[in-house]
Amino acid sequence: MPQGERPELLMARLTGPRPILDPRRNIVRSDLIDIALAGDVAAASYVAPAAMQCAVPRAAMRARADIHAVAVSELLFGEMYDVFETTAGWSFGRSPDRYAGWVRSETLAEAGMPPVHRVTAATAPVFETPDIKSAVLAELPFGAHIAGAPGDRFIELASGGFVHNRHIDHPPHSVIAAARVFTGAPYLWGGRTPAGVDCSGLVQAALAACGVAAPRDSDQQRSELGRPVDYADRAAGDLVFFPGHVGILTGFDTLFHANAFWMTTLEEPLADVIQRLHESGIEQPVTAVRRV
């Protein structure tokens, strides 16, 4: 796609008020409106996205088209990406979890064969040949999506290379088991993999591994996931929400979470987390408990 080009510009003339839409999820800028919003947002023109796909193990999604801008999320290998604008080496679009941001255009490729396999190991080496002694071309993270021809021991990727069958399509038996794959992962704002993850990215990845789609940010997860549970009735597997934070209960009194206090992903007493928040001036640290 040439630089500065928008996939498809569609003209229309509507009148009426513009509803308040979450810019994290909706492509609704003063100069660019998603065609899907044509029935809700009045505009002179709309843009239809171009279907692209992440072609690298991990691609940071940033708040602006600037390598120094904050990373708001992450795109993983094989994930689709709806591109609404490309300019100066950056592509503005939306990920499968309906999260909007900018990624480097060089990390994307035209959408190819639909990915039907999922990496379920913390890391899946991509071997040059179907031999574990061959050179490693790349390392795909937990949650990456791949397409290719399956074999007795390896799957041959459509993009080249081979991944061992033991590293894909072995879903964990529980959300807790999925979360534990991230044990020791460094805390990384915007991260979604064992190489680096934030609190809501951990919850999203663990649920996705168990077949549950979750929104990206903790406030969205608190509003949309599962059903509310009384704090006194909490149990292992429940999500516990705090101001700007979320974790997964591994027991009545233990929490597994990616957190900026320890700068890692670990299990610790729930009481310790609550005490730290009390000491920081937060009177009611637990804002919700949700059961998915």
Domain locations in the chain? 8-110, 117-167, 175-291
Which range (41-45, 129-133, 203-207, 280-284) has the least confidence? 41-45
Phi and psi of 231, rounded to 5°? -55, -40
211 burial (CB, 10 Å; 0-12 / 13-18 / 19+) is: exposed
pTM of the prediction? Answer: 0.91
Of residues 110, 258, 103, the one with CA closest to residue 193: 258
**Is 249 exposed, middle or buried (CB count within 10 Å of its CB: 0-12, 13-18, 19+)?**
buried
Identify the CATH class of 8-110.
mainly beta
User: pLDDT at residue 212 above 90?
Assistant: yes
d(CA 60, CA 95): 11
Provide the pLDDT for residue 11: 47
Domain boundaries 175-291, CATH class: alpha beta
> Mapped to the 3 state alphabet, what secondary structure does the chain carry?
CCCCCCCEEEECCCCCCCCCCCCCCCCEECCEEEHHHCCCCCCCEEEECEEEEECCCEEEEECCCCCCCCEEEEEECCCEEEEEEEECCEEEEECCCCCEEEEEHHHEEECCCCCCEEECCCEEEEECCCCCCCCEEEEEECCCEECEEECCCEEEECCCCEEEHHHECCCCCCHHHHHHCCCCCEECCCCEECCEECHHHHHHHHHHHCCCCCCCCHHHHHHHCCEECCHHHCCCCCEEEECCEEEEEEECCEEEEEECCCCEEEEEEHHHHHHHHHHCCCCCCCCEEEEC
Confidence band, pLDDT 50/70/90 cuts, at residue 87: very high
Q: How confident is the model at residue 117 (pLDDT cuts 50, 70, 90)?
A: very high
At residue 20, the pLDDT reads: 76
Q: What is the CA radius of gyration of the chain?
A: 20
Dihedral angle of Cα 26, 28, 33, 36, to the nearest 10 degrees: 30
For the chain, give the mean pLDDT: 93
Provide the token pair at 86: 């490309």
Q: What angle do CA 172, 173, 175 make, to 5 degrees?
A: 75
What is the pLDDT averaged over residues 104-111?
A: 96
pLDDT in tens, 224-275: 999 999 999 999 999 999 999 999 999 999 999 999 999 999 999 999 999 9
User: pLDDT value at position 44?
Assistant: 84
pLDDT band at 13 (very low <50, low <70, confident <90, very high): very low
Within 13 A of 276's CA, how many CA atoms are on the CB side? 12
Q: What is the pLDDT of residue 3?
A: 54
Residues 6+ apart with CB under 8 A from 279: none
Contact of 78 with 126, CB cutoff 8 Å = no
Q: How much is the pLDDT for 165? A: 97
Which residue is listed with tokens 């987390």? 273
What pLDDT does residue 89 have? 98
Top-confidence residue, 20 or 243: 243
Confidence of residue 42 (pLDDT cuts 50, 70, 90): confident
Q: Render pLDDT for 152-210 as a digit per residue (tens, 0 to 9).
A: 999 999 889 999 999 999 999 999 999 999 999 999 999 999 999 999 999 999 999 99
